Structure 1
Amino acid sequence: MGSVASSSLDQIPLSYATCSIGCGASDTLPRRLEAIGKAGFTAIELSFPDILDYGEQLLGHEIPPDDYNELTAVAREIRTLCKANGLSIMMLQPFANFEGWPKDSPKRKEAFERAAGWIEIMKVVGTDMLQVGATDTPANKISTDRSTIVCDIRELGKMLAKHKFRLAYENWCWSTHAPGWKEVWEIVRDVNLPNVGLCLDTFQTAGSEWGDPTCSTGLINDLPASELSKKFVASMDELARTVPAEKIYLLQISDAYKVSPPLEDKVVDGLRPRGQWSHDYRPMPYDGGYLPIEDVARAVLKTGFRGWFSMEIFDAGVQGKGKKYEMEPFAKRAMESMQKLLKNCSTDT
């Protein structure tokens, strides 16, 4: 496995997800972009809900999520705002619940129509990458057959390739069929297209193999930390050895709070416990979290990957009830924590 020289980390490009800053209606997208740009990030992950929200603000009425004429007009304005703040748009996200629908079903038809619409938005905003989250639709509604999943992702990859766009496939730790890095990597490997790679994430990886918000210790199956560590170290070693650097398109960065009292093991507002955890309990590194996120980031860097590190945090406080902060200082702290993470991941310091 490769070493991680500190000098090799100096040029890693840094991005920030628009959905992961701001704590109220007054924290509009233009203000968020300004804070992100001032903090020194050079790009954003553009969140689709932010296009909808900004469109309503801009046009004075709610935009249906499938009105791609109006959405592309709004997206064009967002691109202008980004340029004014020295930001490019690295990726459009989160494209969810795409794969696994029964053939000839209305849901499958809608998924591909949605993909075509999002491609039009990508053209307008000037990004070449679409993030696809491993579906979390219940298993009684979709196929979890690996060959079906691979076929669907391959078909989407081919749609994107026509426009020289890429697909970044992400494991969500509450996904129905691919909660871990290994599952999404095996799918990407089997899809075997040059424009289909991985969106890896420190929270999603450690949250699927280390943490559990329904356990009192915060650890999977309440396992002793020493036993869990051995398993996790072995998994990260495998990631570093088996995933080619060119198949990683970005690494998203966040930690997680240990939830106390633990979340109940039930679905709330359509979200499984790990989905709830992801939605509200994800601080930036070194800000109260407990997951071994440095181990994940170091494993990814040991593959030779030196691409995008992107901050994607959902920090509603330790209790998940909400958190008030000023955006500019918050974005600056996020940049400082990103730099600290990079420094701590090097193997020569």
Structure 2
Amino acid sequence: MASNIEFSSLQRIPLAYATCSIGCGPSDTLPRKLEAIAQAGFVAIELSFPDIIDYGSHVLGHSIEPDNYAEILTVTREIRKLCDANGLKVMMLQPFANFEGWAKGSPERQNAFERALGWIGIMKVVGTDILQVGATDTPASKISTARDTIVADLRELADLLAKHKFRLAYENWCWSTHAPGWKDVWEVVQAVDRPNVGLCLDTFQTGGSEWGDPTTQSGLIENVSQEELRKRFEASMCELARSVPADKIYLLQISDAYKVSPPLEDKTIDGLRPRGRWSHDYRPMPYDGGYLPIEDVARAVLKTGFRGWFSMEIFDAGPQGKGKKYEMDAFAKKAMENMQKLLKSCATDCNK
């Protein structure tokens, strides 16, 4: 674990932007998104599957079913051209969800592996080697959350990806059924024990699972005192910095969270748990109204020695989650400025 974080080392960190994280209306098409991201100085994107489907409807003139991979691959070839024209690399394909835990022989498990093969085809076309897999949020009543089952499924997926020299970036979603915290997914990754399986860490997901709570008045986890919460969080970040090898982190996603007022109802609505709804609509960029200790998370990741991808992944529908209008070029530029501010704030040799 590195105690010092030199700013000069942070200047070589490659910066990406998730395509699902920009745009606030039908006119904000994928080509415009890519232009805004590139003009702001980002060098790569996380390509979001919904953006492929949406752009496909413009290219082909009709809606595309999410399992029609023949049409999807036609669209992704056009997206690859757009990325090349804007000087952007596709760093990762996301979000591959609800994969693990299905019963053997079930149609859901068959569908999960059919999706995996389809997404591998997309990865080949767009030129990325990383598939983001979110720790499933399928209810425990429908899947097995037994660790050996989860591990076996992910190991099988990892071996499919390895045939193409692709990697699996496993992410804790703070509302996940079985792995809401960074330590949960790290334990799974260690058990999977494949060289092409690592972590997709996220400042929101970590702060949102161990510090914040959108269902409380304070916005904090309230089953312990604030002093105890602070101590626990500090200990967790120290453990992350000490225990995770840098080469097992594939990227760090960057976003903050609004303190929701009034708090969200503490129940599942439209299939989304409170933290899932929080994640969907209440995630601004750093220094733009959020309150989570995201600098602490980023600093812990950097203390591992990691200097790989930092990627902006925000879902900013405003403090009330009802929508936010903005011009994309200015928004992307501000995202870059705030990303640079975050990096400088994490350095131990800069005047704050």
Task: Normalising by structure 1, report the TM-score.
Answer: 0.99
What residue in structure 1 maps to residue 169 of structure 2?
168
Question: 2:151, 2:6 → 1: CA distance?
Answer: 36
What residue in structure 2 maps to residue 207 of structure 1?
208
What residue in structure 1 maps to residue 68 of structure 2?
67
Question: 2:348, 2:71 → 1: CA distance?
Answer: 49
Question: 1:220, 1:156 → 2: CA distance?
Answer: 34
What residue in structure 2 maps to residue 103 of structure 1?
104
Q: Is contact 1:215-1:222 (8 Å) kept?
A: no
Following TM superposition, by how much is the alpha carbon of 1:228 offset from its aligned partner in structure 2, in angstroms?
1.1
What residue in structure 2 maps to residue 220 of structure 1?
221
Following TM superposition, by how much is the alpha carbon of 1:223 offset from its aligned partner in structure 2, in angstroms?
4.0
What residue in structure 2 maps to residue 192 of structure 1?
193
Question: 1:177, 1:222 → 2: CA distance?
Answer: 20
Which whole-Å deviations, capped at 9, do the CAs of 1:151-181 have from their partners, x for residues lacking one?
1011000000000000000000000000000
Question: 1:212, 1:76 → 2: CA distance?
Answer: 41
What letter corresponds to residue 99 of structure 1 in structure 2? E
Q: Is contact 1:246-1:305 (8 Å) kept?
A: yes
Which whole-Å deviations, capped at 9, do the CAs of 1:201-231 have from their partners, x for residues lacking one?
0000000000000011000126443221110
Q: Is contact 1:250-1:308 (8 Å) kept?
A: yes
What letter corresponds to residue 10 of structure 1 in structure 2? Q
Which whole-Å deviations, capped at 9, do the CAs of 1:51-79 have from their partners, x for residues lacking one?
00000011011111111111011001001
Question: 1:183, 1:103 → 2: CA distance?
Answer: 23
What residue in structure 1 maps to residue 345 of structure 2?
344
Q: Is contact 1:202-1:254 (8 Å) kept?
A: yes
Question: 1:333, 1:305 → 2: CA distance?
Answer: 25
Question: 2:280, 2:226 → 1: CA distance?
Answer: 25
What residue in structure 2 maps to residue 116 of structure 1?
117
Which whole-Å deviations, capped at 9, do the CAs of 1:121-167 have from their partners, x for residues lacking one?
00000000100000000000000000110110110000000000000
Question: 1:335, 1:284 → 2: CA distance?
Answer: 10
Question: 2:65, 2:222 → 1: CA distance?
Answer: 42
Question: 2:137, 2:24 → 1: CA distance?
Answer: 26
Question: 2:20, 2:8 → 1: CA distance?
Answer: 31
The two structures, once aligned, show a CA RMSD in angstroms of 0.7
Question: 2:302, 2:80 → 1: CA distance?
Answer: 30
- Describe the SS at the equivalent of 1:198: strand
Following TM superposition, by how much is the alpha carbon of 1:80 offset from its aligned partner in structure 2, in angstroms?
0.5
- Describe the SS at the equivalent of 1:7: helix
- Describe the SS at the equivalent of 1:267: coil
Q: Which runs of 5 or more residues in structure 1 are unaligned?
A: none
Q: Is contact 1:216-1:222 (8 Å) kept?
A: no
- Describe the SS at the equivalent of 1:220: coil
Which whole-Å deviations, capped at 9, do the CAs of 1:58-108 have from their partners, x for residues lacking one?
101111111111101100100100111110100000000000001111100
Question: 1:181, 1:161 → 2: CA distance?
Answer: 24
What letter corresponds to residue 252 of structure 1 in structure 2? Q
Question: 2:43, 2:247 → 1: CA distance?
Answer: 21
What residue in structure 1 maps to residue 152 of structure 2?
151
Question: 2:118, 2:111 → 1: CA distance?
Answer: 10
Which whole-Å deviations, capped at 9, do the CAs of 1:244-296 have from their partners, x for residues lacking one?
00000000000000000000011112100000000000000000000000000
- Describe the SS at the equivalent of 1:287: coil
- Describe the SS at the equivalent of 1:127: coil
Question: 1:57, 1:152 → 2: CA distance?
Answer: 36
Matched, 1:39 2:43: no
What residue in structure 1 maps to residue 184 of structure 2?
183
Equivalent pairs: percent with the same residue?
A: 78
Which whole-Å deviations, capped at 9, do the CAs of 1:282-311 have from their partners, x for residues lacking one?
000000000000000000000000000000
Question: 1:270, 1:89 → 2: CA distance?
Answer: 30
What letter corresponds to residue 281 of structure 1 in structure 2? Y
What residue in structure 2 maps to residue 323 of structure 1?
324
Question: 2:128, 2:181 → 1: CA distance?
Answer: 26
What letter corresponds to residue 7 of structure 2 in structure 1? S
What residue in structure 2 maps to residue 279 of structure 1?
280
What residue in structure 1 maps to residue 128 of structure 2?
127
Matched, 1:244 2:245: yes
- Describe the SS at the equivalent of 1:221: coil
What letter corresponds to residue 294 of structure 2 in structure 1? I
Question: 1:125, 1:103 → 2: CA distance?
Answer: 31
Task: Normalising by structure 2, report the TM-score.
Answer: 0.98
User: Deviating runs (4+, > 4 A) in structure 1?
Assistant: none
What residue in structure 1 maps to residue 261 of structure 2?
260
What residue in structure 2 maps to residue 14 of structure 1?
15
- Describe the SS at the equivalent of 2:222: helix
Question: 1:295, 1:263 → 2: CA distance?
Answer: 25
